[in-house]
Chains A and B, each alone.
Chain A
Amino acid sequence: MNVKALILAALLPLPALAQGFAGLGQTADGYALPDPGRVLEFPHDHGAHPEFRIEWWYLTANLAGADGRDYGVQWTLFRNALAPGNVGQGWQTAQAWMGHAGLTTPGGHFHAERLGRGGTGQAGVTPAPFAAWIDDWRMESTAPPDTDPYSALALTASGPDFAYDLALVAHGPLVLHGAAGFSVKSEEGQASHYYSQPFYRVTGTLSLPDGPVEVTGQAWLDREWSSQPLTENQEGWDWVSLHLDDGAKLMGYRMRGEPDDYTVGTWIAADGTATPLPEGALTMTPIRRADVAGREVPVGWRLILPDRDLDIEVQALQDASWMATMIPYWEGPVRVTGSHSGRGYLEMTGYE
């Protein structure tokens, strides 16, 4: 879940243009709506769904160098339809694309942002062979034919002062969130189609100002598309994806809003069996705040999930994991301690 919606809203370089699209809490006139009866099909659904308003390919990786230092990598491609019906072609294609890349080190945080429109070849997604790209940033399948294209990926991105080139291989199945991939976001019923591949093992190279660093680690890919994921009174969210050391995974998010927060998630067993967490089963409480980019952001959390005897502390690896993009947000790697240990990613939006 994600930031992603809000950013998409503001995706356009003509900033105020975004106002017409910022209302992701408004009605989705003319756009396709998520359907609880729809059965996701792969590899078809790995590709783009241009009839929906917004969509993303969102990968986060917890990595470590040979010397044991921790790193985090984020690669995101957003699609935003500018008009319903997937209209236009060439320069007039009504699809906008945006890429975000982040690279967190123990000493700092790098990020970059790219924009483009569909129809020119600058950015897009093809389902088979699978490739998602904007400019020279690519996420493309390296899986053998007749296997899930997501089972192996090559991933690259670059900014003025950093770059990364990673190889990912999945060691588990795709995981559908909510009811078979139909994920509800509010009491009013806002929803999206949402699935993940959380079982990647990663090897690759980070290019940093001080030189290249060989890394290994784990990664988590989120796929989500919708036309109306937020209610009008939801102001932002806090989201985690955690790789626990015992092999289990936890995805959880708290939608901050009036009158009440809405907290749900998915418990993923080591074998990939997914159990949706009903609203309120998981509690997320800030325990440490930091001054980041001129605002107070909760970079330490306590998570309690009584059903699984889980009571953990989640702490940011780097408090300054700030994505100073057009719509800024916090996204960075975290360490897990307490009843369980592990690593993961934390995302927080809407902190003004």
Chain B
Amino acid sequence: MRRTALSALLSHWRRHPLQLASLLLGLALATALWSGVQAINAEARASYDRAAQVLGQDRLESLVPADGQRVPDAMFAALRRGGWLVSPLVEGRWFRAGQSVQIYGIDPFTAPADSLPPAVAETGGIMDFITPPGRAFAAPETVADLQDAEGLPPLVAAEGVAPGMLIMDIGIAQTLLRADGQVSRFLLAPDQPMGRTPLEQIVPGLERHTPQETADVAELTGSFHLNLTAFGFLSFAVGLFIVHSAIGLAFEQRRPMFRTLRALGLPLKTLVGLLAAEVMLLALIAGLVGIALGYVIAAALLPDVAATLRGLYGATLSGSLSLRPEWWLGGLAIALLGAGVAAAQSLWRLWRLPLLAPAQPRAWARASARGFALLAAVAAGLAGVAVIAGVYGTGIVAGFVLLGALLLSAALALPGALALALAGAERFSRRVLPQWFWADTRQQLPGLSLALMALLLALSANIGVGTMVASFRLTFTEWLDQRLPSELYVTARTEEEALRLRAWLEPRVDALLPIWRVEGPVLGQTAEIYGVADHRTYADNWPMLLAEPDVWQRLARAEGAIVNEQLWRRETLALGDPVPLPGGAVRPLVGVYSDYGNPRGQVIIGVADLVAQFPELDRRRYAIRTDPGAVADLREALVQDFGLPADNMIDQGMVKEISLTVFERTFAVTAALNVLTMGVAGFAMFTSLLTLSTMRLPQLAPVWALGLTRAALARLELLRAMLLAALTMVLAIPVGLLLAWVLLAVVNVAAFGWRLPMHVFPADWLWLAALALAAGGLAAAWPAWRLARIEPATLVKVFADER
């Protein structure tokens, strides 16, 4: 009996292959977007973990200079001879011709056991390792990336080294990083001997840090990944709408079959069990296809994500994707879960269905008035949640709660709002046909509402994200112009060359502005501290958000500091608050400036002030103000006459181009997910209309019988779909703008630490509206075409059928 019942149930799919396809495709798409995003996140997490594990930093304590600067390497011997089992580490970024890598200089003799990647620990030739040119170990992909880089030691590919990182001997690294005789910090071996001299008696100025304090990339990038996850989830939710409508349709169409099977003696429990098993089987198949699709999506997006993370956070991701169980198992689970949720309503209805109840889709509509009221109540509740999250919430999680509640609330309120609009239109219609049209549209709302909700979500996400990205682009380009007023940036190779360069340049240019910086802890986190010269360039251009009137003079007099927006927001500083600098000096806050694209805090003080506090700082970089027309000649002269390599200078245009590239890539992923979401919504609309078209014959047949032609009916169908899409679009605009505001003013502030002014681009909405109409029209085209071609006999049969 069970087998017979199962084959009867499954025969439905054989007769409705399109329905089967839409169910499978919907679920596969939803799973694909979700698992694609998860795959990217998993790959990133693995890369961060590998980076954090480098040299055992995830489990070893370290001794770190309190002011964040490097210390003389004589401290190493002093610590060891005081009984402290430490291993020195010099680290820094190495740049050359647009390429950059993180360099770790280690001491293989004292590196704690198991702290080196096996490939490094088991290599041959210590003399080759410690004497010039040395050997540098790197991930195979990093070796490939750096194939043409000049000035690095011979590279050795080693599995287990995190990408974007070179491991070499400390002596070699000191030379490459121009840090001769300097150490960044010391790793502490886990087992220390008895009877050590107290630390402060050997080397004052070192702090003992726990392992977590040194690995902050994962934390920095956390908000970015949460962002991706949220988009993945949105796509998945939209995909579920398709599945829900496909499953709903299949249940409705099989009602006569259920009745027959029950009448033949199949227990209700068995029937529900068989149907649940059927859904799970379909979910499993669709889930597997979705995971494969997700892999393709992730592989396509990963290079952009990797570039974004590198540009924005300095975090390096492996460029290749591996099949990690944590995301593909997760993808399968969410496919099963999603199908379960989508089928739950139908199964529940079947469970409560009277044995011989006729199959009557009309009942859906009658229940709808109560249903809309319920939805509206839930929507109001969610709106309340959104308001609470917006007013009282802080941080990125609150931001996403606000986003989610806002979107869901809008989606759930949609059917009610549409019903109201349609009822109003009906009231104003005098003629019979329009009255029927409005009433019939309203009658279809319950069946279409899920697809329309999906469309609303996709449209408002599109408006919201589009507004955010466009606002950002506008602000960012203006900001770049302010931030990069200097025409040329040069870096000398040595301090001595820097002095000569300065003397050489001074008579040739309008101004020579030092770009000197140190890094160190400010208010608990690593920050950059820059020194600015007393020059009108800054007063004229610098993008200040708020400032004391004499801010630049106060910096020049060493009587103040300005900080970037990120630091200002993070620490909720106010003008006049003390800003403690590494090394102990404190300056009052005299201004705040915007600093997009920088994940870290930044402080600016006067350059003389900086030099006084950090006399050892690197003084090799300068910005040059000169006639823009003379830049090319100046570059030429610097290379030919002065002898500075072309790699050591970069002009304004190039810096802007690099910055804009980072920016574009940051949102490339968002844009791609946006387009995919839109596609899924269009597909949802199509399957819903298809569902309705087969169920609606009993309603259309009388209208046809009253004299309306099939072609006219089909035209009305098309019109109706486009009308609903247009109404949805109208509602999507305020929701999208609200979404954009949340993204700009809440999520971005929490994720990146900066707030952007919002700009509105109505022209984009027109384009989007056209897209929405097209989506509605396309979705309705096939059902309408079928209606126009339907056999009159089929329509006549409606009156004969016992229903």
Question: Within the assembled complex, what's the spacing in Å between the Cα atoms of A115 and B121?
Answer: 15
**Which stretch (A13-21, A145-153, A194-202, A227-235) binds chain B?**
A13-21
A161 at interface by CB-CB < 8 Å: yes
Q: Are B81 and A135 in contact (CB under 8 A)?
A: yes
Q: A17-B124, A133-B81 are in contact. Are A159 and B174 (CB under 8 A)?
A: no
- Kindly identify, within residues 118 to 151 of chain B, every residue whose CB is under 8 Å from any CB belonging to chain A: 120-127, 129-132
Residue numbers in B under 8 Å from A94 (CB-CB): 127, 130-131
Q: Are B195 and A163 in contact (CB under 8 A)?
A: yes
Residue numbers in B under 8 Å from A339 (CB-CB): none
Question: Within the assembled complex, what's the spacing in Å between the Cα atoms of A19 and B77?
Answer: 28
Residue numbers in A under 8 Å from B80 (CB-CB): 116, 122, 135-136
Q: Are B76 and A17 in contact (CB under 8 A)?
A: no
A184 at interface by CB-CB < 8 Å: no
Residue numbers in A under 8 Å from B110 (CB-CB): 13, 115-116, 122
Output the residue of B110, B123, B191, B197 with the most chain A CB within 10 A: B110
Q: Are B169 and A91 in contact (CB under 8 A)?
A: yes
Q: Are A162 and B194 in contact (CB under 8 A)?
A: yes
Q: Are A158 and B195 in contact (CB under 8 A)?
A: yes
Question: Within the assembled complex, what's the spacing in Å between the Cα atoms of A82 and B109?
Answer: 13
Question: Within the assembled complex, what's the spacing in Å between the Cα atoms of A121 and B132?
Answer: 20
B55-97, CB under 8 A of A: which get 1 and which 0? 0000000000000000001101110111101000000000000
Q: A115-B110, A116-B109, A163-B193 are in contact. Are A121 and B81 (CB under 8 A)?
A: yes
- Kindly identify, within residues 283 to 307 of chain A, every residue whose CB is under 8 Å from any CB belonging to chain B: none
A106 at interface by CB-CB < 8 Å: no
Q: Are A91 and B174 in contact (CB under 8 A)?
A: yes
Q: Are A83 and B127 in contact (CB under 8 A)?
A: yes
In the complex formed, the residue of A with least CB distance to B192 is A160
B196 at interface by CB-CB < 8 Å: yes
Question: Within the assembled complex, what's the spacing in Å between the Cα atoms of A160 and B108?
Answer: 21
- Kindly identify, within residues 156 to 200 of chain B, every residue whose CB is under 8 Å from any CB belonging to chain A: 169-171, 174, 191-197
Q: Are B122 and A91 in contact (CB under 8 A)?
A: no
A12 at interface by CB-CB < 8 Å: yes
In the complex formed, the residue of A with least CB distance to B171 is A91
Nearest CB in chain B: distance from A234 CB, A: 24
Question: Within the assembled complex, what's the spacing in Å between the Cα atoms of A270 and B797?
Answer: 128
Question: Within the assembled complex, what's the spacing in Å between the Cα atoms of A161 and B85?
Answer: 14
In the complex formed, the residue of A with least CB distance to B111 is A13
Residue numbers in B under 8 Å from A112 (CB-CB): 193
Nearest CB in chain B: distance from A309 CB, A: 46
Question: Within the assembled complex, what's the spacing in Å between the Cα atoms of A201 and B111?
Answer: 37
A142 at interface by CB-CB < 8 Å: no
B107 at interface by CB-CB < 8 Å: yes
Question: Within the assembled complex, what's the spacing in Å between the Cα atoms of A14 and B158?
Answer: 14
Q: Are A159 and B194 in contact (CB under 8 A)?
A: yes
Q: Are A158 and B83 in contact (CB under 8 A)?
A: yes
A4-40, CB under 8 A of B: which get 1 and which 0? 0000000011111101100000000000000000000
Q: Are A17 and B123 in contact (CB under 8 A)?
A: yes
Question: Within the assembled complex, what's the spacing in Å between the Cα atoms of A8 and B113?
Answer: 19
Residue numbers in B under 8 Å from A53 (CB-CB): none
Residue numbers in B under 8 Å from A19 (CB-CB): 124
Q: Are A92 and B131 in contact (CB under 8 A)?
A: yes
A144 at interface by CB-CB < 8 Å: no
A88 at interface by CB-CB < 8 Å: yes
Q: Are A160 and B194 in contact (CB under 8 A)?
A: yes
A193 at interface by CB-CB < 8 Å: no
Complex partner residue of A121 from B77, B83, B111, B171, CB under 8 angstroms: B77
A123-136, CB under 8 A of B: which get 1 and which 0? 00000000001011
Residue numbers in A under 8 Å from B85 (CB-CB): 135
Nearest CB in chain B: distance from A160 CB, A: 4
In the complex formed, the residue of A with least CB distance to B191 is A160
Nearest CB in chain A: distance from B129 CB, A: 7
- Kindly identify, within residues 76 to 112 of chain A, every residue whose CB is under 8 Å from any CB belonging to chain B: 82-83, 87-88, 90-92, 94, 96, 112
Q: Are B130 and A135 in contact (CB under 8 A)?
A: no
Question: Within the assembled complex, what's the spacing in Å between the Cα atoms of A72 and B130?
Answer: 37
Residue numbers in B under 8 Å from A160 (CB-CB): 191-194
Q: Are A121 and B74 in contact (CB under 8 A)?
A: yes
A249 at interface by CB-CB < 8 Å: no
Residue numbers in A under 8 Å from B170 (CB-CB): 91
Complex partner residue of A15 from B77, B81, B122, B197, CB under 8 angstroms: B122
Nearest CB in chain A: distance from B409 CB, A: 61
A120 at interface by CB-CB < 8 Å: yes
In the complex formed, the residue of A with least CB distance to B173 is A91
Complex partner residue of B126 from A12, A120, A162, A207, CB under 8 angstroms: A12
Residue numbers in B under 8 Å from A92 (CB-CB): 130-132, 171
Residue numbers in B under 8 Å from A158 (CB-CB): 83, 193-195
In the complex formed, the residue of B with least CB distance to A163 is B194
Q: Are A117 and B107 in contact (CB under 8 A)?
A: yes
Question: Within the assembled complex, what's the spacing in Å between the Cα atoms of A94 and B131?
Answer: 8
Nearest CB in chain B: distance from A124 CB, A: 10
Residue numbers in B under 8 Å from A117 (CB-CB): 107, 109, 130
Output the residue of A87, A115, A120 with the most chain B CB within 10 A: A120
Nearest CB in chain B: distance from A220 CB, A: 25
B184-224, CB under 8 A of A: which get 1 and which 0? 00000001111111000000000000000000000000000
Residue numbers in A under 8 Å from B81 (CB-CB): 121-122, 133, 135-136
Nearest CB in chain A: distance from B53 CB, A: 18
Nearest CB in chain B: distance from A22 CB, A: 11
Residue numbers in B under 8 Å from A20 (CB-CB): 124-125, 127
Residue numbers in A under 8 Å from B132 (CB-CB): 92
Residue numbers in B under 8 Å from A121 (CB-CB): 74, 76-78, 81
Residue numbers in B under 8 Å from A159 (CB-CB): 193-194
Q: Are B192 and A115 in contact (CB under 8 A)?
A: no
Question: Within the assembled complex, what's the spacing in Å between the Cα atoms of A88 and B171?
Answer: 11
Output the residue of B78, B120, B126 with the most chain A CB within 10 A: B126
Residue numbers in A under 8 Å from B83 (CB-CB): 135-136, 158
Question: Within the assembled complex, what's the spacing in Å between the Cα atoms of A163 and B108?
Answer: 25
In the complex formed, the residue of B with least CB distance to A165 is B195
Q: A19-B124, A94-B127 are in contact. Are A13 and B108 (CB under 8 A)?
A: yes
Question: Within the assembled complex, what's the spacing in Å between the Cα atoms of A15 and B196?
Answer: 29
Complex partner residue of A17 from B125, B193, B197, CB under 8 angstroms: B125
Nearest CB in chain B: distance from A210 CB, A: 13
Q: A16-B122, A17-B129, A82-B127 are in contact. Are A207 and B109 (CB under 8 A)?
A: no
- Kindly identify, within residues 500 to 522 of chain B, every residue whose CB is under 8 Å from any CB belonging to chain A: none
Question: Within the assembled complex, what's the spacing in Å between the Cα atoms of A88 and B126?
Answer: 13
Question: Within the assembled complex, what's the spacing in Å between the Cα atoms of A159 and B82?
Answer: 13
Nearest CB in chain B: distance from A145 CB, A: 24
In the complex formed, the residue of B with least CB distance to A93 is B130
Nearest CB in chain B: distance from A81 CB, A: 10
Q: A13-B109, A17-B129, A92-B171 are in contact. Are A122 and B194 (CB under 8 A)?
A: no
Complex partner residue of A115 from B109, B125, B193, B195, CB under 8 angstroms: B109
Residue numbers in B under 8 Å from A82 (CB-CB): 126-127, 130
Question: Within the assembled complex, what's the spacing in Å between the Cα atoms of A306 and B187?
Answer: 57
In the complex formed, the residue of B with least CB distance to A118 is B109
Residue numbers in B under 8 Å from A161 (CB-CB): 194
Q: Are A14 and B121 in contact (CB under 8 A)?
A: yes
Q: Are B194 and A88 in contact (CB under 8 A)?
A: no
Question: Within the assembled complex, what's the spacing in Å between the Cα atoms of A120 and B77?
Answer: 6
Q: A92-B130, A135-B85, A158-B194 are in contact. Are A120 and B73 (CB under 8 A)?
A: yes
Q: Other CB < 8 Å A-B pairs besides A120-B76, A135-B83, A163-B194, 9 of them?
A: A14-B126, A82-B127, A91-B171, A92-B131, A96-B126, A133-B81, A136-B197, A160-B193, A207-B194
Q: Which residues of A contact B (CB under 8 A)?
A: 12-17, 19-20, 82-83, 87-88, 90-92, 94, 96, 112, 115-117, 120-122, 133, 135-136, 158-163, 207
11 residue pairs of the A-B complex, CB under 8 angstroms, read A14-B108, A15-B121, A16-B122, A82-B126, A91-B130, A112-B193, A116-B80, A122-B76, A122-B80, A136-B81, A158-B83
Q: Which residues of B contact A (CB under 8 A)?
A: 73-74, 76-78, 80-83, 85, 107-111, 120-127, 129-132, 169-171, 174, 191-197
Q: Which 4 A-B pairs have the closest CB atoms?
A: A91-B171, A121-B77, A136-B83, A158-B193
